[in-house]
Amino acid sequence: MAEDKKVSVVNFLGSFAVEVFRYLHDLFLLTTAAASGMFVRKRRRGIVLKYIEEIGLGSLPLAGIISTFTGMVLVMETVSELKKFGAAMYTASIVSVSMVRELGPVLVGLIVAGRVGAAIAAELGTMKITEQIDALKVLAVDPVNFLVSPRFLGGLVALPILFLIAFFLAIGGGFLVGVHLVGIGPGMYLSQTFRFVTLKDLAVGLLKIVAFTTIIINVACLEGFRARGGAEGVGRASTSAVVSSFFLIILANLVITAIFYFF
């Protein structure tokens, strides 16, 4: 019995590893195809602008509110500890560095993955089940070029801008708490805010948000293309898109942080 259990565990792990490899392989192929499709000259600007609005402008209220509250919470959490060492003025530096390096890109990525990723997967999943994607193929229209590339390009334009807006809103939220509740001077708070933020930090933050955009859009589209089984299949595709995007965002964040700040 023990040997049978060991064999079943090994078989499960092996099959799981194979499925993960296939999924990443399909995701890589879709990403490269979508990236190459962004340079097609016949791309209509109106479609790209539509997705920039849907992905970026549509996510701005939620991302802005959460980022502002995050900046406030960071000040509340850190100032009480820094006061013990007489270093309350460095609260602004902690907020700005943490937001530009880690929290800003991750928060925006998770928000967009939950809001936009699920919607894209549901839309493409519905098109797949109703055979609209097959109709595009019959008409000699590449589904990846027609459906994925404009969303990918729109996300690459919208999310870095959204990340920068979220960063400054977090700074603003921290400023309100730090100045009006903690009592740090406005000039001191603003000078400390950007004292330790370097161009490397900003570049890494932008690199992360570009990587997260690539994950969100292509995972959502892949799950939509893989949808099966009617309305339940669309629901599963939406759920899988969000869960897979969350996991890959955290993993990508770990890898990028390790490369630029650890090794």
Q: Which residues touch 72 (CB under 8 Å, ≥6 apart)?
A: 173, 174, 176, 177
Asked if 71 and 99 touch (Cβ cutoff 8 Å), the reply is: yes
Asked if 158 and 52 touch (Cβ cutoff 8 Å), the reply is: yes
Residue matched to tokens 């000259």: 41
Asked if 216 and 116 touch (Cβ cutoff 8 Å), the reply is: yes
Q: Which residues touch 37 (CB under 8 Å, ≥6 apart)?
A: 142, 144, 145, 148, 149, 152
Q: Give the pLDDT of residue 173.
A: 93
What residues does each domain of the chain span?
2-261
230-263, pLDDT tens digit by residue? Answer: 888 999 999 999 999 999 999 999 999 999 998 7
Q: Give the pLDDT of residue 60.
A: 94
Alpha helices in the chain (DSSP H): 2-37, 45-52, 60-83, 91-98, 104-112, 118-129, 132-138, 143, 149-177, 186-193, 199-225, 230-261
Exposure on the CB side of residue 80, measured as CA atoms within 13 A: 4
Taking the C-alpha atoms of 115, 120, 121 and 126 in order, what is their torsion angle to the nearest 10 degrees? 130
CA distance 149 to 82: 47
| CA-to-CA separations, 74 to 39, 62, 68, in angstroms, rounded | 41, 18, 10
80-106, pLDDT tens digit by residue? Answer: 888 778 777 888 998 899 999 999 999
Asked if 148 and 218 touch (Cβ cutoff 8 Å), the reply is: yes
Q: Looking at the whole model, is its pTM more than 0.75?
A: yes
Residues of the chain with pLDDT under 70: 1-7, 41-43
Q: Which residues touch 252 (CB under 8 Å, ≥6 apart)?
A: 208, 211, 212, 215
CA distance 158 to 146: 19
CA distance 245 to 219: 6
CA distance 43 to 151: 12
Q: Give the pLDDT of residue 1.
A: 53
